[in-house]
Amino acid sequence: MGLISSLCIFVLVAHFATPVVCHKRSHQAALFVFGDSIFDPGNNNYINTIASFQANYLPYGESFFKYPTGRTSNGRLIPDFIAEYANLPLIPPYFQIGKKHFIHGVNFASASSGCLAETARGFVIDLQTQLKYFKNVAKLLKKKVGRRKSKQILSNAIYIFSTANNDIFASLSANSTFPYSDREYQHMIMGNLTSVWKGIYKEGGRKFVMLNLGPLGCLPSVRALNLQIGVTNGSCMEKATNKAKMFNSALPKMIKKLEKQLPGFKYTIFNFFKVFADSIHNPTKYGFKISKTACCGTGPFRGILSCGGKRQVKEYELCNNVKDYLFFDSSHPSEQAYQKYSELLWNGTPDVVAPYNLKSFFELST
């Protein structure tokens, strides 16, 4: 075991600092990140897309970075906090690896992408393309550090995913024209996710982390949509949340199948649904005052995605104190919320992250 290094961080909750939390780890495993806007650190800045799928303008980023990085929040996202807790540098976007070291990992995530190539096709980096980019990195790694060392890095690394949210949204917005039943569509999503995980396994990856889907019907954007279709009490859209629940119940079965097929395959699932729903319904427990309305946006619940004024709708309001809000924009949590979720992912109990929390998963030898 290498030298034990420790990392101490101050955890800010609401308006006051709690005692120092110390994270110890015995060796440094790399972190490879895949998925959508929950994880995208700015990859969409580099592709030919539209402002609706980007966040490279203020007020995004202003609370922590002081400038817009492309992250759809006011500051850091879950992979940024996990890297910090694991004593890693910030994990660079794939399109910046020419300028940055990538032996500690790479972030391939793309806002608005899904498991399926059809989801926002032509505007995002879908999951199969993210896999292709990962294979490029695996080749570069071999050239840089040699075959033996690169094999060791890839097998000890953590591969973390947040995906399928936008596939579900695509099925909701397609309304009557949608050609698949819920079951068929879920089967397609799972099929693509499985094939990407197998692709990473083939390159040497062994440790996989998946966030299940949050209560999608409770996002400010979906509450606003619900209002539009005549549900006047401001409630969550049950249809959207039920689709997320259906995906979440199929996910462990799919992963268990992979575990049987692939020797040495290890996984953990973060119950994002549970902690996200809990923070929406009990915001004060997490240090927030407002959990139905976003800090930045316009319309009911600030649910129209206009934050920054660069998308289709130009008018937007910005709250005075972002620390009061669970949501930064109409679809994405604030940095403070992401920090809370990251702490639970890193150090949480089996009811929220199982069979391993990330602290123990990082330390697990392959």
As a whole number of angstroms, the distance between CA 129 and CA 107 comes to 13
Based on the residue annotation, tell me whether 342 is a catalytic residue of this protein: no
Based on the residue annotation, tell me whether 37 is a catalytic residue of this protein: yes
The catalytic residue among 80, 221, 329, 330 is: 329
Q: Which of 196, 74, 66, 192 is nearest to 133 (CA)?
A: 196
Q: Which of 169, 157, 260 is nearest to 216 (CA)?
A: 169
3-state SS string over 155-183?
Answer: HHCEEEEECCHHHHHHHHHCHHHCCCCHH
Q: Output DSSP code: residue 325.
A: B
The catalytic residue among 37, 73, 110, 150 is: 37
Counting Cα atoms < 13 Å in the Cβ hemisphere of 39 gives 33
Query: Torsion angle of alpha carbons 328, 13, 158, 75, nearest 10°?
Result: 30
The sign of the torsion formed by the CA atoms of 45, 50, 55, 56 equals: positive
The catalytic residue among 73, 104, 162, 332 is: 332
Based on the residue annotation, tell me whether 329 is a catalytic residue of this protein: yes
**Where in the sequence numbering do the catalytic residues fall?**
37, 329, 332
